[in-house]
């Protein structure tokens, strides 16, 4: 039932090689729900994420250490005595006993090429994170850190997804709560829009920072959500943003997700410093996603 529902809500697009990571751990439900959406849409997806929750570790990167204890939610047995591991029934689900950035690095350089005849990923995604990554949270987020690494160090277009509705849950939770399904469907819709915009999917050294509002009240159906181009930092002293919605100053992501209504913020991030990318790069993203985007009331 879950897979059929997800497939019905995510339009078919050209399948890509996608590397997937997060900072909440490889067995976290939000991540697995999104993974299901990507597979259902026809993508060749490889998950490479931390063996346990590594939230708030930013861009930390260290070689993985030998794992002796069980992974998060007992998702791998104690005594594996390995720095990396794989799901016994699905080899495209992998854990790395280190930070999110390390997991993304191993995924791109070591794990995924085994499935893709040595080819690199065409897109990198992270999350959805359990909880938001807005404004001042951005520099400390491992979800952001892994996306920035993919974009800046490996030149792979990258999208970081986060959801305000919090509450960690294991991959095998049943029934799957609505928030996990909705966030997965919304993330799939954005991936679809980015791909339909054509290659190159994003400008160089850019990542998208996407934040979903709470799944509650009127916002419990993916079809009810709207998408707004935003910025990460306030920008009081920044150059003008791309002109859209009658302004040359984009709304900050925090104000978008806190607005009345079901608004998703999509910020064009600069992978060099995790702030807002300049107007010329915003303009490229705006053109690609124009049919998806709306203005705040």
Q: pLDDT exceeding 70 applies to what percent of the chain? A: 96
pLDDT in tens, 114-160: 999 999 999 999 999 999 999 999 999 999 999 999 999 999 999 99
Q: Is the pLDDT of residue 2 over 70?
A: no
pLDDT of residue 216: 97
Edge-to-edge strand list for the sheet holding 17-21: 84-86, 93-96, 44-50, 17-21, 123-130, 158-163, 206-212, 263-270, 226-230
Task: In whole angstroms, give the CA distance from residue 121 to residue 257.
Answer: 30
- Count the Cβ atoms, other than its own, within 10 Å of residue 120: 15
CA distances from 28 to 58, 84, 266 (A): 18, 17, 23
* pLDDT confidence tier of residue 237, bands split at 50, 70 and 90: confident
Q: What is the mean predicted confidence (pLDDT) over 207-211?
A: 98
Q: Is the pLDDT of residue 201 over 60?
A: yes
CA nearest neighbour of 280 among 252, 235, 248: 248
Q: Is the pLDDT of residue 266 over 50?
A: yes
pLDDT of residue 236: 87
Q: What is the mean predicted confidence (pLDDT) over 239-253?
A: 97
Handedness of CA 168, 171, 177, 178 (dihedral sign): positive
pLDDT in tens, 69-81: 999 999 999 999 9
Q: Is the pLDDT of residue 5 over 60?
A: no
pLDDT in tens, 80-102: 999 999 999 999 999 999 999 99
Q: Is the pLDDT of residue 1 over 60?
A: no
Q: Are strands 84-86 and 93-96 parallel, antiparallel or unpaired?
A: antiparallel
| C-beta of residue 136 within 8 angstroms of C-beta of residue 178 | no
pLDDT of residue 18: 98
Token pair in block for residue 287: 């053109």
Q: What is the mean predicted confidence (pLDDT) over 34-58?
A: 98
| C-beta of residue 19 within 8 angstroms of C-beta of residue 113 | no
**Comparing 6 with 245, which gets the higher pLDDT?**
245
CA distances from 78 to 73, 85, 98 (A): 12, 12, 16
Helix residue ranges, H only, the chain: 2-9, 29-40, 100-106, 142-148, 154, 178-196, 253-257, 279-289
Q: Is the pLDDT of residue 11 over 60?
A: no
Q: What is the largest CA-CA distance in the chain?
A: 59
| C-beta of residue 235 within 8 angstroms of C-beta of residue 247 | no
* pLDDT confidence tier of residue 13, bands split at 50, 70 and 90: low
* CATH numbers and ranges of domains, the chain: 2-289 (3.40.1210.10)
Q: Is the pLDDT of residue 26 over 60?
A: yes
pLDDT of residue 4: 40
To the question of pTM greater than 0.85 for the whole model, the response is yes
């Amino acid at each position: 039932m879950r897979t059929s529902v997800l497939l019905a809500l995510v339009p078919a697009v050209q399948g890509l090689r996608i590397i997937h990571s997060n900072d909440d751990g490889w067995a976290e439900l939000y991540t697995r729900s999104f993974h299901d959406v990507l597979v259902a849409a026809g993508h060749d997806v490889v998950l490479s994420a931390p063996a346990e929750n590594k939230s708030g570790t930013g861009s930390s990167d260290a070689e993985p250490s030998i794992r002796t204890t069980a992974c998060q939610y007992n998702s791998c047995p104690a005594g594996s005595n390995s720095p990396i591991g794989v799901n016994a029934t699905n080899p495209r689900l992998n854990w790395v006993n280190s930070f999110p950035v390390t997991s993304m690095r191993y995924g791109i350089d070591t794990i995924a090429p085994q499935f893709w005849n040595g080819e690199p990923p065409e897109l990198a995604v992270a999350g959805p994170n359990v909880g938001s990554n807005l404004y001042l949270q951005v520099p400390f987020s491992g979800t952001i850190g892994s996306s920035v690494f993919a974009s800046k160090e490996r030149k792979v277009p990258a999208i970081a997804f986060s959801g305000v509705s919090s509450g960690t849950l294991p991959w095998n939770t049943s029934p799957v709560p609505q928030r996990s399904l909705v966030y997965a469907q919304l993330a799939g819709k954005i991936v679809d829009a980015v791909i339909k915009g054509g290659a190159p999917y994003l400008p160089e050294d850019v990542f998208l920072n996407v934040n979903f509002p709470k799944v509650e009240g009127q916002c419990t159906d993916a079809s009810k959500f709207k998408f707004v181009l935003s910025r990460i930092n306030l920008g009081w002293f920044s150059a003008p943003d791309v002109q859209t919605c009658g302004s040359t100053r984009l709304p900050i992501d925090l104000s978008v997700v806190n607005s009345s209504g079901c608004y998703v913020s999509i910020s064009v991030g600069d992978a060099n410093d995790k702030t807002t990318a300049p107007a010329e790069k915003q303009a490229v993203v705006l053109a690609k996603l124009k049919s998806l985007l709306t203005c705040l009331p």
